[in-house]
Amino acid sequence: MKIVVCLKRVLDTQERVEIAPDGKRLVSTGLDYVMNTHDECAVEEAIRIKEAKGGQVTVLSLGPSGATETIREAIAMGADEGLLLEAEGDEEAWGPKSTASALAEALKGLEFDLVFFGLESGDGSHHQVGLAVAEALGLPAVDGVKKIDFQDGKIVVRRAVELGEEVFELEPPAVLTLVDGMNRPRHPSLRGIMLAKRKEIKTIKVAPREEPLRLIQLRKPPERAGGEILGEGKGAIPKLLEKLHEAGLVR
């Protein structure tokens, strides 16, 4: 099974993230970028499939030159090779549409049975790229996959819906977007990290196509009012009940 995992380097949300003065970007006070959490699970899932069934895992990322660090992390976890689409031009020009068309273009040059995406990115949260790539390549796509099985040459995937789950059978090639929590991503071992360090990561410079989506402004959510401490332990229960009654939450 040949799997390409598309992943994104995002700002570490553990850092203090601020909105830049132009109101259009996030800036961090720290230095840390991390692999998008949904993507981390996608990498883990791909590696597990490779370990069980053989094959190859390629990671593909669009981002600044520094994103090679994130690609290397995926290789350290067990992916075989990486390709960076080094994004030229303005950050603003790279919306979901232009990102998807650059990834789709690159995927046309790669061999694969499955393409994995994370459900959405931790920074942009558009939840569009995976599906837009599937559309561009004319491939079937299942969105929000939480489990993948292989039965009689078929790929069986499950996604959670409100009242249960949907089960799909697919034949490759197909695109899946995977959700965080479907597995517990492994930590790259020191051996893996040293191996990944020596791997060459192919880089192709890409320019943005037209991007119909324009970000106008980022705004912080309104400050939430501070909570109220009603007491401690059992003693707090009567007051708590009273408040819940008042709010109409219990009757």
Partner 1 sequence: MGFRGADLYELDSLLNEEQRLIRKTAREFVDEEVLPIIKGAFEVRRFPTELIPRLGELGFLGANLEGYGAAGVDELSYGLVMEELERGDSAIRSFASVQGGLVMWPIYTFGSEEQKERWLPRLARGEAVGCFGLTEPEFGSNPGGLQTRADRDGDYYVLNGVKTWITNATLADVALVWARTDEGIRGFLVERGTPGFTQAKIEHKMSLRTSDTGELVFTDCRIPAENMLPQAQGLKPALMCLNQARYSIAWGAVGAALACYEEARAYALERVQFGRPIGSFQLIQEKLAEMLTEITKAQLLVFRLAQLKEEGRADHVQISLAKRNNVAMAQMVARSAREILGANGITLDYQAVRHLMNLEAVKTYEGTHEIHTLILGEAITGLSAFK
CA dist., res. 99 & res. 105, Å (int): 10
In degrees rounded to 5, what are phi and psi of residue 150? -120, 120
CA dist., res. 187 & res. 125, Å (int): 25
CB of 197 to partner 1, least distance (A): 5
Of the candidate residues 2, 72, 158, 159, the single one contacting partner 1 (CB under 8 A): 72
Identify which range of 36-44, 89-97, 189-197, 243-251 contacts partner 1 by CB under 8 A: 189-197
β-pair type (2-6, 56-63): parallel
Q: Does 229 bind partner 1 (CB under 8 A)?
A: no
Q: Give me the helices (H) in the chain, please.
A: 37-53, 68-77, 96-108, 129-137, 190-198, 237-246
CB of 40 to partner 1, least distance (A): 12
Q: Does 189 bind partner 1 (CB under 8 A)?
A: yes
Of the candidate residues 6, 47, 67, 76, the single one contacting partner 1 (CB under 8 A): 76
Q: Does 86 bind partner 1 (CB under 8 A)?
A: no
How many of the other CB atoms lie within 10 Å of CB of 141?
19
What sign for the dihedral angle of Cα 195, 197, 202, 207? positive
Q: Does 29 bind partner 1 (CB under 8 A)?
A: no
Query: Which of 122, 112, 118 is CA-nearest to residue 131?
Result: 118
CA dist., res. 174 & res. 157, Å (int): 11
Identify which range of 71-79, 104-112, 119-127, 166-174 contacts partner 1 by CB under 8 A: 71-79
Q: Give me the helices (H) in 110-236, please.
A: 129-137, 190-198
CB of 201 to partner 1, least distance (A): 11
Q: Does 247 bind partner 1 (CB under 8 A)?
A: no
Of the candidate residues 110, 194, 213, 218, the single one contacting partner 1 (CB under 8 A): 194
CB of 72 to partner 1, least distance (A): 7
Of the candidate residues 1, 11, 17, 193, the single one contacting partner 1 (CB under 8 A): 193
Identify which range of 54-62, 68-76, 129-137, 162-170 contacts partner 1 by CB under 8 A: 68-76
Of the candidate residues 53, 108, 191, 224, the single one contacting partner 1 (CB under 8 A): 191
CB of 29 to partner 1, least distance (A): 12
Of the candidate residues 69, 86, 92, 105, the single one contacting partner 1 (CB under 8 A): 69
* DSSP SS3 for 63: strand
CA dist., res. 208 & res. 97, Å (int): 9
Residues in contact with partner 1 by the rule CB under 8 A: 14, 31, 69, 72-73, 76, 187-194, 196-197
